[in-house]
Structure 1
Amino acid sequence: MDKYMIISPIGEGSFAKVYRGREKYTGRDVALKFISKLGKTEKDLNFLRREIDILRKMKHEHIVEMLNSFETPNEIVVVTERGLADLYQLLEDDVSLPEDAVQKIACQLVSALYYLHSHRVLHRDMKPQNILIFPSGKVKLCDFGFARNMTMDTMVLTSIKGTPLYMCPELVDEKPYDHSADLWALGCILYEVYHGKPPFFTNNVFHLIKMIGKESVKWPKVISPDMRSFLEGLLTKDSTHRLTWPDLLQHPFVRTGVKATSSIYNDHGE
């Protein structure tokens, strides 16, 4: 901790405490995530270290950059760049955003997910709280707490991870799933950003699961044909017919704004 000064708490989850911090000598604003080792097996800790290795390799303008990681006797600490706020906080203030703003967010998140999926990495916990806002309207994906590196022979996963509001039908049915689970969640998030609430919303988890599996999406009265077609593609219940790569990149709603890069080092091939 010699390099960092803790300023204030940002949030606390079931696995970690997050603080706003400052890098000494440079003054850089950072987020410090403290993950307790207590109660975790060596297998759990090794899995976590692998997760951190994945994040360290991810270099993309719309993915939060990991700056450092280190361990203390009781904790693993991950240091990342810090945004101004997250999308959840923005929605609390603004309730919903106009279509052109939603389109800009969509293009950035599609770029980030294409990069991740090109490296066989699923995010697995897509939600507004994990999308950070930076100056000039830039957004970045963060918190790969559930990310999983998929080898070619394990492109299908069955363990349930993620947030119920943004879970796809195959996940709530406990069926195998793949990268298109992230794309369903993207559709839910963009719908919420535009409409003010997710496409399937109730406080009862069992009712929510039933809605996700069976009910059709209720579309806002005012929505452009391109945006509706894009969201319909992402929110297709049958994952084999869901909008996915490479067709997704060519959809008119995002085609002109997406930067499709899959270099694992950086966007300039260095």
Structure 2
Amino acid sequence: MEKYEKIRVVGRGAYGTVHLCLRIADKKQVIIKQIPVEQMTKEERQAALNEVKVLSMLSHPNIIQYYENFLEDKALMIEILKFLAQMLLSIQHVHSKQILHRDLKTQNILLDRKREVVKIGDFGISKVLSSKSKAYTVVGTPCYISPELCEGKPYNQKSDIWALGCVLYELASLKRAFEAANLPALILKIMRGTFAPISEIYSEDLRTLILSMLHLDPNRRPHINQIMAQPIVINALMNLHTDMGKLPCTRIHRPVPTTARNPLSSKPPALSSVFSWGSGSASPIKLQLPTSDTQVTQVSTGRTQKAAVTKNGRLFVWETSAMGTDTLIPGATDGHTHSLVPRYLEGQSAVNIQHVACGDLFTACLTGTCLLLAKIVEALLGYGVIQVSCGASHVLAVTNEHEVFAWGRGDNGRLGLGSQESYSSPQLVPIPESLRPSSVHCGVDCSAVLTLDNKLLCCGNGTCSKSIEEVHCFCQSLCHPVENLLIKAVAMGTSHTVAVTVEGHCYAFGSNQFGQLGNQSINTRQPQQVKSLDANKITMVACGDTFTVAVTEYGDVYSWGNSSRGRLGRSDEETCIPQKVTFTGEEQFSVVSISCSHGNTLLATRHYK
């Protein structure tokens, strides 16, 4: 899409979105039909290809003219980092010997048969440098040479960093960063640093890394060790060191001794666990999963239901089941106990669920193309919905075009539509054009939106939006210091809100009647940092009615506020100081999802192998 600039959406259908675009090369307006082929069946993809093929064969003034078709890849991130980690290690070794490669390019980067191991070759024009010398000879493949080489200036290891940046750009964009019809034009492009933007399908960290490696000033390009210290690269290097060189193992099936004390000891370890507490349970209880190999990626809890989404796109809920034996003694009380039993959503075999959100008496599911409640939300067919949130009686959804839709009860202005009217179908929410929503969050009678640039927008009940009065349209929070902070996560309880900054600091505001703000202050209007969590980087947060739960980057879980009916996951007294929740007998795990509603919490984990 780098050759086109989107102007506006002119149509939507069940199979795609139609955009009016400006072709940058000749400033001509064209129509682009964007079809989500990754969500199609084989037959639907073939039908789309047939449409392209037929259009390309036709040329008539009364038939729309065909220009081109293209496919933007969305699944390259992991492979790119896997290859980058190996290239960095090899170049680090080369540079440690005071050697410049001087001809790094994709043709000189080889893969093994399984496309897992990277080998850098062709050192024919490499040069050994003394500790203080710089090279002067103009060598290398033109598309990958650095600006300083183009200008005939002395160069050093930073020229290899430039070439590696070109390779990384090519892996991400599937085309070269610098191309031209002739050498003078190519040199001019390189010296100006002119190349198409990197697609936003990749993370900001990866895009920023590539841009830094392609900086015109070699002194401002990162050193090889600085690149390897980037968080996005460290994870790839860690995976590389733990995976490379491992030997394939043949599983040996040994019979289980008949004298084994635990007949279940031969079962494979579980991949995920889901815990629940509150509603009378004073400590985390591990819930039953449909199968031992179920991998849970997201959970949500409402007043009356608990739901989860699996890695393979299945949705299941936990239903209460009575267990016990009937008594024959007249006048005896019911001897049944109740347990939560998982049940898959019926009729879901052809639908891939990506996200679930529970309201008070309803559940909304995101399939990737639309929402499911009791049925498909037809008004959103054709929209690329990426996330949904449910309040007690209203729903918000955000699309990949950064549009927000709201429906349900409109009391207190919680829908952000400028009034208190209720709507039974999705309504487009007015958001300032300069702001691009990325996620939506519903409270009981209020709502919040987070933008791509980490701004927090609020509407609804004045207590939760932190304004004196109700706010009927989404507006940026003006409370100090939140107005100046970059917010990456937010959660809303009945009468309080907790926001997490990109640095991992917690700020709480609203009612502090039960200590749910994490401090002893009685100031309910001014957002305050939860100081006792200062030593931890918070990654997730959830709010119940009168309590708060937070998760750190290392998987520790803290809770504070009202402790009645087991809300805090322990039998402590009510506390405004965050205390750690204990998971007895559990191996180490990472938390993948957390949800709170009213007086209960649902938490999903992934076990370390």
**What TM-score range do you get, normalising by the shorter chain?**
0.5 to 0.7
Aligned to 1:138: 117
Give 1:168-183 correspondences, 5 Å limit: 168-183=146-161
Contact 1:130 1:141 in 2 (8 A): yes
Aligned to 2:410: none
Which amino acid is the alignment partner of residue 214 of structure 2? L
The answer as to 2:151 corresponding to 1:208 is no
| Cα separation, 1, equivalents of 2:127 and 2:112 | 26
Aligned-residue offset at 1:221: 3.5
CA shift in 2, pair 1:206/1:234, >3 Å: same
| Cα separation, 1, equivalents of 2:76 and 2:110 | 18
Contact 2:102 2:160 in 1 (8 A): yes
Give the TM-score, by structure 1 length.
0.58
Aligned to 1:218: 196
CA shift in 2, pair 1:233/1:117, >3 Å: same
Aligned to 2:79: 101
Q: Which runs of 5+ in 1 are unaligned?
A: 1-93, 260-270
1:189-238 deviations in Å (ceiling 9; x for gaps): 11111211111111311001000111433222422111101101111110
Contact 1:168 1:184 in 2 (8 A): yes
| Cα separation, 1, equivalents of 2:98 and 2:230 | 22
Contact 1:95 1:196 in 2 (8 A): no
Aligned-residue offset at 1:95: 10
Which amino acid is the alignment partner of residue 99 of structure 2? V
Higher strand proportion (structure 1 or 2): 2
Aligned-residue offset at 1:167: 0.7
1:13-44 deviations in Å (ceiling 9; x for gaps): xxxxxxxxxxxxxxxxxxxxxxxxxxxxxxxx
Q: Secondary structure at the match of 1:208?
A: helix
Which amino acid is the alignment partner of residue 87 of structure 2? L
1:78-113 deviations in Å (ceiling 9; x for gaps): xxxxxxxxxxxxxxxx99771111111111101100
| Cα separation, 1, equivalents of 2:105 and 2:171 | 11
| Cα separation, 2, equivalents of 1:181 and 1:258 | 23
Aligned-residue offset at 1:149: 1.2
Aligned length, in residue pairs: 166
Which amino acid is the alignment partner of residue 167 of structure 1? I
| Cα separation, 1, equivalents of 2:231 and 2:139 | 31
Runs (4 or more) in structure 1 with deviation over 3 Å come to 94-97
Give 1:1-270 correspondences, 5 Å limit: 98-136=76-114, 137-154=116-133, 156-219=134-197, 220-258=199-237
Which amino acid is the alignment partner of residue 140 of structure 1? K
Which amino acid is the alignment partner of residue 202 of structure 1? A
Q: Secondary structure at the match of 1:255?
A: helix
State the superposition RMSD in angstroms: 2.1
| Cα separation, 2, equivalents of 1:120 and 1:146 | 14
Aligned-residue offset at 1:256: 2.3
Contact 1:110 1:258 in 2 (8 A): no
CA shift in 2, pair 1:122/1:258, >3 Å: farther
| Cα separation, 2, equivalents of 1:252 and 1:233 | 15
**Identical residues among aligned pairs (%):** 31
Which amino acid is the alignment partner of residue 154 of structure 2? P
* Relative contact order, higher structure (CA 8 A, sep 6+): 1
| Cα separation, 2, equivalents of 1:113 and 1:95 | 30
| Cα separation, 1, equivalents of 2:236 and 2:94 | 18
CA shift in 2, pair 1:225/1:95, >3 Å: closer
| Cα separation, 1, equivalents of 2:182 and 2:232 | 33
Give the TM-score, by structure 2 length.
0.26
